Amino acid sequence: MIEIVNFINGEHVRGAESEGLFSLNPATEERIAHVTVSSPADVDAAVQAARAAYDSGPWPRLSVEERAYYLHAIADALEDNLALFAQYECEDTGFLAKMCRDGHLPRAVEHFRFFAEEGKRFFGSAIPVGDAYFNLTHPVPLGVAAIITPWNGPLAVSSINLAAALIAGNCVVLKPSEMAPVTISLLGQIFAEIGLPPGVVNIVQGAGSPTGQALIRHPDIDLVCFIGGTQVGKAVLRHAADTVRRSLLELGGKSPTVVLADADLDAALDGALVSAFSSNGQVCTAGSRIIVERAIAEEFSRRFIERTRQIRVGDPFDARSEIGPMISAGHREQMLRAIDAAQRQGARLRTGGAIPAWCERGFYIEPAVFTDVHPRSDLARQEIFGPVIGMFTAEDEADALRLANDTCFGLAGSVWSRDQSRALAFAKKMQAGNVGVNTPYIRDIRCPFGGFKQSGIGAVGGRWSLEHYTQTQTLCVPLSGYALPKYGVEP
């Protein structure tokens, strides 16, 4: 079993709490890691290490090219050990091995490489004020950033923010989820091996209470980046108000897949299934609401349900598996309660929604599809974060748009129509930050990724990340200058 400890000021150290937590393999329920729990004192030590590294250490004073060298070194080390990291992440999260190996881990490598180079292209401007002055703008790092990340795709999700924060010159305290801490913990070893200056990145382990709470409440943090549920995101904002500090939030979603009557049904069906069930359905962009125009609703629903029944749920290391286990017993139980509540509220369960008959161990569940879902029911409004889908029938295009936007979330979505112009016009009216047009939404590191409404504040990717992790200073430099009044001089 792996021993997971903190990484503070360049050293691996145990947390002060006497008892730790255990990370379980969701497929086998076996303990794979013992996780230290960081007390508020541990968190304070990590923040103070980051503060000292920022205030008096070399990191923010290095050139961007020198910082880029370290980011490339991190990427090199990850790439050299990609198979090992992918195995650990599969065991830690229950995500399919092929997804970890071919998707999440290469994406983490790409994040460090991309921002190593993007940072060199991120600079200020000279703004002339007539012939009298130049106003020179330049980006300045914020200081100490707290980055709190979830258990789904921990390395990929962490790295997009960590790499941007580092190339901009910030120092970081990173807290991974206690349910999937292994690959983030291994990053500490990489930092030590490549000679990253002490205190530049600190990793604290533990649950939301006490560790996460101590971090978001710490007065010496200049920015909190939180990726997770909307309710916790609101708490981050409340604490940020006390110190007027910046917050970057990627929160929940209840994303719609809209299938208009003239859609290519085969393509839309494939896209809707991918949007609904990739990453075991445990992803914030999951297309958990499928809205279909009435003219094709019956056929589309029938085919979607048939395909869902054939999805192979099983061992994430089995190449034939299409959905692995849920992250924990508790999370699966929440899903089962949500499925039961949906039926009591009148929705019709058409397939799945139970623990597979063959399941003797592991947190598996059959993907569930509901029809006859009331738009105001819990199933329609609340994020379940698993392979549970609600299908809705729209009377026409206007009704489909109304249903798509009838949510407090606005993270992602997709629309399907053979008429590309019609689909594009529809997509522009959707209240979501990321919309696929005749495709599931596919992320690109060069593009902004962020949500509308209660799905978050800010966007990550490309220069948008760097803008969040810096502040702009303007320097006013005279050329000929204006004739200044001479205060205190007798006329």
8 Å CB contact between 432 and 459: no
- Catalytic site positions: 250
Select from 275, 365, 367 the least CA-distant residue to 326: 365
Say how far apart CA 394 and CA 157 lie, in whole Å: 35
8 Å CB contact between 115 and 446: no
8 Å CB contact between 290 and 325: no
Residues in the chain: 491
Tokens of 350: 């058409």
Radius of gyration of the CA atoms of the chain, in A: 24
Q: Could you tell me which residues are beta bridge partners of residue 348?
A: 371
- Put the strands of the sheet holding 31-35 in their side by side order: 2-4, 31-35, 21-24
Amino acid in the structure at residue 74: I
Which sign does the torsion angle of CA 352, 353, 359, 363 carry? Answer: positive
Say how far apart CA 241 and CA 73 lie, in whole Å: 37
Say how far apart CA 410 and CA 404 lie, in whole Å: 9
Task: For 108-137, give one letter per residue: b (16+ CB within 10 A) or e.
Answer: bbbbbbbbbebbeebeeeeeeeeeebeeee
Hunting for tokens 């600190």 — which residue is that?
202
8 Å CB contact between 290 and 323: no
Q: What is the 3-state secondary structure (H, E, C) of 77-133?
A: HHHHCHHHHHHHHHHHHCCCHHHHHHHHHHHHHHHHHHHHHHHHHCCCCEEEECCCE
Distance of CA 247 to the CA centre of its chain: 14
